Amino acid sequence: METRHCQTDPLCPDKEIIKQAAEILKNGGLVAFPTETVYGLGANGLDTSACRRIYEAKGRPSDNPLILHISQISELQPIVREITPVAQKLMDAFWPGPLTIIFPKSDLVPLGATGGLDTVAVRFPSHPLAMALIRESALPIAAPSANSSGKPSPTRASHVAYDLDGKIDMILDGGPVEWGLESTIVDACSDTAVLLRPGAITKEMLEEAVGTVEVDPAIIGKPSDDLVPKAPGMKYTHYSPKADVTLVSGEPACVLKTINRLCAEAKEKGLSVGVMATEETKQDYVADQVLSLGSEANLEEIGANLFKTLRKFDFLGIDVVYSQVFPESGEGMAIMNRLRKAAGYHIIQAEEKGE
Ligand code: TXA
Ligand code: MG
């Protein structure tokens, strides 16, 4: 299949291009499009065979449910059975925006979109191009991140093309995304909100809107038979680049020394070595490639650059990557959740004393 690539201004999308993309969606095809979090791979969320095409193109396990995207609140009612008071508060506070809410699903939503669950994840994105496309198609658009399953989520149209060229009908290129990490997911089916995936809407922000927020323990620990994540997709080793990633925690000076020692040892074995650093530390590392995620004072910047940087190590043919860790609060919770997965939960404690 030939994939059409269409570039358009994200703030003022070309009407003709949007029309053609919506036509593809209405006919059961697949269109990748930018949202404010990551690029999504869209299909008609009410059409089981269109959803099946998403799973095929991504190589995604069929028990991993999709998020349905809407472009106005009135599109929510037909696809959910109930809007709890907690859900209403979350919608009022954060929609449109980078928050996905889990609702009991209505009969309109096929089990083929929800991985067989009787709940449905819904997101109302704020990206003008995403909104224009959903509105024009007049459908709830099922859209997982537009990467091959297991790879870091795409934050640029070029990432989508690298993974999915020839497997989907169209890629709408609206430039780099704003956030760079997938949306926060909250289960709002009962009286208490449960955080299933951390993202740009932080736990602290959620608490301000709804009071108590429970956290799925699998967000922090390593998923296992005893610790099954409530969001099925969170159990997979996601976001992994080809390189082996190791995280090093501890005092900054000790982390630096330990990473430089590990780099030297890996070099000696003939491996090509990368370090994921920050603006503050990049000049202190010795490795084949030292890539900065941004300033430690700006976790939003670190989050926005994380997936792009993991993909760049792949592109550069790096075998092993070492990275420091980040604080677990605020946006740091989402960054550490993705980093731990990228590292296959391989985290070591820095041992050496600093200088
Ligand atoms: O930012 C985002 O959320 C992006 C953009 C494109 O909107 N989408 C995205 O989709 O990240 P995906 O499919 O890569 O991740 C969706 C996550 C998966 O972990 C899935 O298991 C979970 O949402 N999920 C979907 N429906 C669910 C449900 N009914 N109950 C629990 N988890 C659900
Ligand atoms: Mg994904």
Judge residue 355's burial from the number of C-beta atoms within 10 Å of its C-beta, 0-12 exposed, 13-18 middle, 19 or more buried.
Answer: exposed
312 within domain boundaries? yes
Do 37 and 158 reside in the same domain of the chain? yes
Q: How far apart are CA 229 and CA 12, in angstroms?
A: 39
pLDDT value of residue 114:
98
Same-domain status, 92 and 38:
yes
Closest ligand 1 atom to 199 CA: 1
What is the model's pLDDT at position 305?
A: 97
Q: In CATH, what number is assigned to the domain containing residue 262?
A: 3.40.50.11030
Residue spans of beta strands (DSSP E) within 52-151: 67-69, 99-104, 119-123, 141-142
In a domain, 227, yes or no: no
- CB within 8 Å of 99: residues ≥ 6 apart: 90, 123, 183, 184, 185, 186, 199, 201
Contacts of range 88-91, beta carbons closer than 8 Å, 24 or more positions apart: 89/209, 89/210, 90/186, 90/188, 90/193, 90/206, 90/209, 90/210, 91/124
* Pair 139, 205 in one domain: yes
CB-count exposure of residue 267 (10 Å: 0-12, 13-18, 19+) = middle
Asked whether residue 15 falls in the same domain as residue 126, the answer is: yes
Q: 348 pairs with which residues across the strands?
A: 248
Cα–Cα dist 158/5, whole Å: 10
* 41 Cα to the center of ligand 2, angstroms: 10
Ligand 1 pocket by C-beta < 6 Å: which residues? Answer: 35, 37-38, 40, 64-67, 100, 102, 114, 117, 119-121, 123, 143-145, 182-183, 185, 196, 230-234
Residues of the chain below pLDDT 70: 237-239, 353-355
Q: What is the CATH number of the domain that holds 161?
A: 3.90.870.10
Counting ligands in written order, which one lies closest to the CA of residue 99? 1
Residue 238: predicted pLDDT: 63
Distance CA 117, CA 108 (A): 13
Asked whether residue 187 falls in the same domain as residue 279, the answer is no
Q: How far is the CA of 128 from the centre of ligand 2 (A)?
A: 21
For residue 165, the enclosing domain spans 4-219
Contact 325, 247 (CB under 8 A): yes
Query: What is the token pair recorded at 105?
Result: 């699903």
pLDDT for 86-98, tens place per residue?
999 999 999 999 9
Q: What are phi and psi of 91, to 5 degrees?
A: -60, -45
Q: Are residues 214 and 294 in the same domain?
A: no
Residue 240 has what pLDDT? 73
Count of residues in the chain: 355
Nearest CA residue ID for atom 20, ligand 1: 233
Count of CA atoms in the C-beta half-sphere (13 A) of 99 = 25
What's the CA-to-centroid distance between 234 and ligand 2, angstroms? Answer: 9
**Cα radius of gyration rounded to whole Å, the chain:** 20
Task: Give the separation between CA 226 and CA 179, rounded to whole angstroms.
Answer: 32
